[in-house]
C-alpha cells in the first residue's frame, strides 16, 4: 500500500475501466490531476506485481470521503478492498476526521454488502451534485 505516483496513471485508469468505474462525464486523467493538487498523499494504490487496487480519500475539515475504491477483478475476495479502505480510514483518522462518507452509484447496490461489512451504514440523506467545471 503506498501513495499514488504519476507514473501509475495509465495503469490506474485501465484498472478503473476494468472495474466499471469510468463514466463519460468524468475524465479520469483530470480527476487524477486534480487530486494531485489537493491531499495527494491520500490517494492510495495497492501494488502486487502491478497496481491491483486504488482508493482516493480526502478530508474537507468536516467529513472524509472515499472515491475510486477498486480492486482488480482477478484479485477480488482476498481482502485487498478491506485493507485499502482500512489504510484510508487510518490516514483520515490521523487527520482528526470524525466520519467518512462514500457514494454508491445507482445500479451498484450489490456493493452495499461490502461497505456494511466494513461498518458503513446507509445515511438518511440524498446525495446531490452540481458540476462546476465540465470535463
Ligand X SMILES: CC(C)(COP(=O)(O)OP(=O)(O)OC[C@H]1O[C@@H](n2cnc3c(N)ncnc32)[C@H](O)[C@@H]1OP(=O)(O)O)[C@@H](O)C(=O)NCCC(=O)NCCS
Q: In the complex with ligand X, which residue's Cβ is closer, 93 or 108?
A: 108
Residue selected from 49, 74, 110, 130 as contacting ligand X according to rule CB under 6 A = 110
Kindly tell me which residue out of 71, 91, 92, 97 binds ligand X, with binding defined by CB under 6 A.
71
Smallest gap from residue 116 Cβ to ligand X (A): 9
Q: What is the dihedral of CA 132, 55, 9, 15, to 10 degrees?
A: -110
User: Which residues lie below 8 Å from residue 130, measured CB to CB, with a gap of 6+?
Assistant: none
- Is residue 97 part of the contact set for ligand X (CB under 6 A)? no
Among 2, 34, 82, 123, the residue binding ligand X under the rule CB under 6 A is: 82
Residue 117 CB partners (closer than 8 Å, separation 6+): 82
- DSSP H helices, 1-128, are 9-18, 28-35, 80-94, 112-117
Residue nearest to ligand X (CB): 81
14 binds ligand X (CB under 6 A): no
Least Å distance, CB 85 to ligand X, is 8
Are 8 and 45 spatial neighbours (Cβ–Cβ below 8 Å)? Answer: yes
Amino acid at each position: 500500500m503506498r501513495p499514488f505516483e504519476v507514473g501509475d496513471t495509465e495503469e490506474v485508469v485501465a484498472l478503473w475501466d476494468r472495474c466499471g468505474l469510468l463514466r463519460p462525464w468524468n475524465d479520469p486523467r483530470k480527476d487524477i490531476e486534480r487530486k494531485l493538487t489537493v491531499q495527494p498523499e491520500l490517494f492510495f494504490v495497492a501494488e502486487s506485481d502491478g497496481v491491483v487496487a486504488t482508493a482516493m480519500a480526502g478530508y474537507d475539515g468536516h467529513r472524509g470521503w472515499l472515491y475510486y475504491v477498486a480492486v482488480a477483478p482477478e484479485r477480488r475476495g482476498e481482502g485487498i478492498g478491506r485493507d485499502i479502505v482500512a489504510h484510508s480510514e487510518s490516514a483520515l483518522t490521523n487527520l482528526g476526521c470524525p466520519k467518512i462518507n462514500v457514494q454508491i452509484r445507482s445500479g451498484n447496490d450489490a456493493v452495499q454488502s461490502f461497505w456494511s461489512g466494513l461498518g458503513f451504514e446507509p445515511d438518511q440523506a440524498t446525495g446531490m451534485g452540481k458540476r462546476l467545471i465540465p470535463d
